Structure 1
Amino acid sequence: MLIKPHQYRSFLVANAQPESCHIIFCSDGFCKMTGFTRAEVMQRSACTEFLQGQMTSQAVVQSIKEALRKGEEQHFEILYYRKNGEF
């Protein structure tokens, strides 16, 4: 079996304008990993509220929002949930 190097990458691309900051693309890997279809993800906020759950750190969520607002590159560790509620 031939495995392409990018076959298992999961990512989002968002509009970098602070006013909107909407998701404009998601990879097939992202859809497979989260259980959301591309249509369900497109145009949602890059703050990814739709992936957050009870155990998602609100402090990290606020840090993500701040980084998006400032247009800064940051690295975060955050617990996200799949569409079916699993994490």
Structure 2
Amino acid sequence: MPRANRRRPDGGDDSFERLLSGWKRTETRRGRTWTVQPLSGSQSQKDYTCPGCGRVIAAGTAHVVVWQADGILGDAADLAARRHWHSACWKSA
């Protein structure tokens, strides 16, 4: 029997689940725990400003999305405060 590739009709915003799905890792820096998720160039569909260097991450450029993993306001609030970094800028931060 073929698999149905339709979205589930849960009625909610899927951006939270979409970002949580896929390969991600947890890193600790300066006493805080961060969730780091790489984005490929094909997943990056708009421009972002890197907080590390202040330069633009152009659409189509592979980079990482970073958000605090241990925030007191919960996962949804932490994800809303996520930032897009150049991979090299995040490594050197």
Task: Please indicate the TM-score interval, normalised by the length of the shorter structure.
Answer: under 0.3
Higher relative contact order, chain-length normalized (CA < 8 Å, sep 6+): 1
TM-score, length-normalised on structure 1? Answer: 0.28
TM-score, length-normalised on structure 2? Answer: 0.27
Structure that is richer in strand per residue: 2
